Amino acid sequence: MLTDIAKVTNQLKTHAILCKEPNKELTKKSNTEPSTSRNTARYTESKLIPDTKLTFNTASNAPHNIIKQPQKGFTLVEVLICLLLGSLLLSMVIGLYVTNVSHSTKTLQMSRLRTDLQALVGVIENDIRRAGYGGDQFMVGAAQDKVIDSSNTNNQKCIVYSYNYDDATTPTTSHVMGFRYSTNSKSIQFGRNVDPQASNCLNGGYWVNLTDPNFLKITALSFIETSHTNPTSQITLRSININITGELVENSAYSYQIATQIQVRNREYH
């Protein structure tokens, strides 16, 4: 038993000596040959360090383990459906805009129609209320004893009056004025230097349109004259009922009617 142990011990010592001998030889060579120290070092490293190959896992050598994501987008059918819905929505918006513009235009035209007729009635009222101002010299009619004289036949619709608008001492033909309906221009006209009798207002005088025939067409006009005489004082008060109907030239569906009663302020003494 001891013999076997001794043999093993001797073998281990011999192996240790053999492992140390290359290092001694390398040391001797390094002392005697300094010029070859680098080569010796490299040789020693190559002997002592086992050959190892360093491998780098580059992107080119790496396995393609990236998961492919599904591509997102619209198909041709989806694009066509979107275009169709967009076109329908756009056409609805355009149609709504055109409708609003058309309605606004008609509303403005109707507002102008009412405004023009109301302004016309205002002019007639203010002028007729002054009829007879200045005394008996500023009277009209066949006997020139009336503050106003009117005609309301199918062929002639006219009212004649006179007043002293410039503080004249003697009346002239320019003081005789009137309003009439023109069948040619379908408008209401104002005239000066007219005949004192309403039945002759179509003969002579200087007449101008008070309404625009290109925008407004007068379809009806009436002058209805009324009077009231006090039997005791023989004072007569006159009034006139005026009814006007007009419509748009571009659209006859838009029409407006206005009526008023005008009380003449000046009295007639008989």
- Residue 96 falls within a domain, yes or no? no
Q: DSSP label at 222?
A: E
Contacts of residue 110, defined as CB under 8 A and 6 or more positions apart, other chains included, come to: 248, 254, 256
Phi–psi pair at 228, nearest 5 degrees: -140, 120
Amino acid at residue number 115? T
Query: Does residue 98 belong to any structural domain of this protein?
Result: no
Is 231 contained in some domain? Answer: yes
Residue 174 lies in a domain: yes
Q: What is the pLDDT along the chain (270 residues), one digit of tens a residue?
A: 545 555 655 665 655 554 454 444 444 444 444 444 444 444 444 444 445 444 545 545 545 555 666 667 778 888 899 999 999 999 999 988 888 888 888 888 889 899 999 999 999 999 999 999 998 899 999 998 999 999 999 889 999 999 999 888 888 999 999 999 999 999 999 999 999 999 998 888 999 999 999 999 999 999 999 999 998 888 999 999 999 999 999 888 889 999 999 999 999 887
Q: What is the CA radius of gyration of the chain?
A: 60
Number of domains in the chain: 1
User: Is 99 within a domain?
Assistant: no
- Write down the pTM of the prediction: 0.64
Distances (CA, A) of 227 to 10, 44, 127: 166, 148, 18
What is the 3-state composition of the chain as percent helix, strand, coil, each rounded to the nearest 5? 40, 25, 35
Query: Does residue 24 lie within any of the structural domains?
Result: no
Q: What is the span of the domain harbouring residue 129?
A: 109-269
196 belongs to a structural domain: yes
Q: Does residue 12 sit within a domain?
A: no
Pair 166, 138: CB distance under 8 Å: no
Structure tokens at 216: 């407004």
